[in-house]
Each structure stands twice: as structure tokens, then as C-alpha cells.
Amino acid sequence: MRSVAAGAPAQRLALVRTENHATVFCCDSVEVETNTAPEFVDITEQVESVVAASGVRFGQATVYSTHTTAAVKINENEPLLLKDMARALDQAASCEADYHHNDFSRRTANMDDDECPNGHAHCQHLFLPTSETIPILDGKLTLGQWQRVFLVELDRPKRRRVLVNVLGVCED
């Protein structure tokens, strides 16, 4: 473990000025039905489709979860790894532990009609992002070789909503 000032200069990949190009702001909603928890739902193709449909050539896409017990995470889609990450989430905040949030005899705030004990899901979410922002180059997300975009369900089977907010310049 070290801290080094890495030496190589940055390499310019793109620079676009908007005099001759329109700037576009585009927001799409991706709806996901989850089946269990934790569940890593690979939404990469949907995010790629939103970017393609936006017509944006250079800019960025922000993937945003509108939920407090479902997160956005970029990692690898390898089935055995997803089992490892599910275990890591349980070690961070076990669904077997006690949570004040689950004590409906004391709790008065934010009670839903179908309230279920989900303190572990909130506490797992504490350590995961709500949003990630991915650059767009030549009309494509700059995902690395193994990177996939997941909605991570932490609670229970639910209908979830992810927003994909794209902004940048079109070439036309």
C-alpha cells in the first residue's frame, strides 16, 4: 500500500465545443421487477439503449436509483462472484441482526401500509452508491472490459425504478 504521484500525462480522448452542435439533456426511466434479495439485476443493455436513443456523442450518463433499499453498482457479472458479493453484503449488515428500524412497537415515522422489517437493507445500502456517472465517447458508454451496471435489490421482490440521465452533444 503506497501513495504515488503517477507519472504519465493524461491523453486527450475528446474535446467538443458546442458552437456547431446542440447540447442534449435526456432522462429515461428503466423499470425493473426484482425477484429476491440480494439480487444483482444487470441493466447494462437498458442503459446502453438509453444512451443510443439520446443521440449523444460526447457527454455522460448518470444512473440513479430512486430507492433507499436498492442501489446502483458497477462490477462484474460472474455468477459465482455475485454469490460472494451477496455474502459480503450480509457480513456488512446481516438480515439476522436486530435493527431499531424494525421495532414497529416504538417506531412512528415513515410507516407504510405494508411495512416490512428491512433495517438490514438500509444498512447495506449505506455502503453502496445511489448514483454512478459514466462518460460517453463516440456515442458509447466507456465501460471497461468487465464492467456491467447493476441495480442491487437489498430488500425483497419489488418494482424498482432507475433513472438514466444523459447529457452531452449530438453530431448533426
Binding to a second copy in span 106-135, by CB under 8 A: 106-107, 109-110, 119, 122-123, 125-135
**What is the rounded CA–CA span in Å between residue 152 and residue 69?**
9
- Look at residues 25, 4, 48, 17 and name the one whose alpha carbon lies nearest to residue 143: 48
**CB of residue 117 vs a second copy: minimum separation in angstroms?**
11
Cα-based distances in Å from 83 to 23, 31, 35, 76 = 42, 24, 15, 12
**Binding residues for a second copy, total number by CB under 8 A:** 111
The whole-angstrom distance between residue 156's C-alpha and the CA centroid of its chain comes to 17
**CB of residue 96 vs a second copy: minimum separation in angstroms?**
14
**What is the rounded CA–CA span in Å between residue 83 and residue 76?**
12
The backbone torsions φ and ψ at residue 125, rounded to the nearest 5 degrees and listed phi first, read: -60, -30
- Grid cell, residue 4, equals 504515488
**CB of residue 115 vs a second copy: minimum separation in angstroms?**
11
Interface with a second copy, residue 3, by CB under 8 A: yes
- Per CB under 8 A, the list member of 114, 140, 170, 171 interacting with a second copy is 170
Q: Which of residues 4-63 bind a second copy (CB under 8 A)?
A: 4-6, 8-19, 22-33, 35-43, 45-46, 49-50, 53-54, 58-60, 62
Neighbouring C-beta atoms of residue 140, cutoff 10 Å: 12
**CB of residue 161 vs a second copy: minimum separation in angstroms?**
7
Q: Which of residues 64-83 bind a second copy (CB under 8 A)?
A: 64-68, 73-83
**CB of residue 108 vs a second copy: minimum separation in angstroms?**
9
